[in-house]
A = this chain, B = another copy of it.
């Protein structure tokens, strides 16, 4: 039987998930809720579902699972309420910007034996997934060093920056999760450097826009992350894993694969300029994984615990920059 869904939040990312749910034959979008009635109505019109309040969805007998796409500061509360109501929860990252609050929330999930999957969509990118699959197949031997380059096409508005929890919790957090996904072992040490090079306003807001992080595991596996809030050539998303028998890397993606040659040289178009076009397939695949897990096929992963650890790595990075030293993850988690 199809998994019956409620969608909380009808904004940009809510629309993406609405499309993913309705496009999956094993799922059905029953209702959508949003503080902005027009936004909810637009989704309802397009997919033929109800508009309901969050409370009504919470109480609904015809809803098995929810996708939470509301503002970050509502995530933890909603997770707790819906888990208590017996509904499976898919929540956009992050669970919360406070590690303490996340721990508390996961406590509730555990206590109610709830299902919570967190939206680290990049694990579902077909290219990154293929990198992991090669590692699992043994194509490169034992993983030794992971290199992640992750640069946004452009910095978000400073208003967003202020609410974001800072670059490590907002942007690098995806790379922390990816590093864990690829290292296959828990990170124990974090050290970061950070600067404001893109926009001085970001610095005034107390944040950085250009950061580097090094991670290390107990057995000596290492990872490097390079982040910038602005890459003129598009959304730069590369991963590379060096192992005892070789290396595997995922290349950048662009909308069209053409090349123009002239007296100026050989030019390929810029990369995707937006995370939604870059990760279209990943968004669909993560929801499909969640639906499949609810139908007993596979796991609802990344889990709340994965969300917790990625946030802890971000907190360690923040501390590392402040104290100019290597921070043990055990200091913050």
User: Interface on A for B, CB 8 Å cutoff?
Assistant: 25, 46, 126-127, 129-131, 134, 139-140, 142, 144-145, 147, 149, 151, 189, 191, 193, 195-198, 210, 212, 214, 216, 220-222, 224, 226, 228, 230-233, 236, 242, 244-251, 253, 255-270, 324-326
Interfacial chain B residues near A226, Cβ < 8 Å:
145, 147, 224, 242
Bound complex: CA of A8 vs CA of B82, how far in Å? 47
Is the Cβ of A266 less than 8 Å from the Cβ of B264?
A: no
A75: min CB distance to chain B, Å: 31
Give the copy number. Answer: 4
Bound complex: CA of A196 vs CA of B130, how far in Å? 28
Is the Cβ of A232 less than 8 Å from the Cβ of B220?
A: no
Q: Which of B127, B144, B212 sits near A258, CB closer than 8 Å?
A: B127
Bound complex: CA of A310 vs CA of B265, how far in Å? 33
Bound complex: CA of A78 vs CA of B180, how far in Å? 50
Please, which residue of chain B has its CB at the minimum distance from the CB of A230?
B244
Interfacial chain B residues near A244, Cβ < 8 Å:
197-198, 230, 232
Most B CB contacts (10 A, CB to CB) among A253, A258, A267, A326 go to: A258
Bound complex: CA of A316 vs CA of B12, how far in Å? 47
Is the Cβ of A266 less than 8 Å from the Cβ of B233?
A: yes
Please, which residue of chain B has its CB at the minimum distance from the CB of A146?
B226
Interfacial chain B residues near A267, Cβ < 8 Å:
264-268
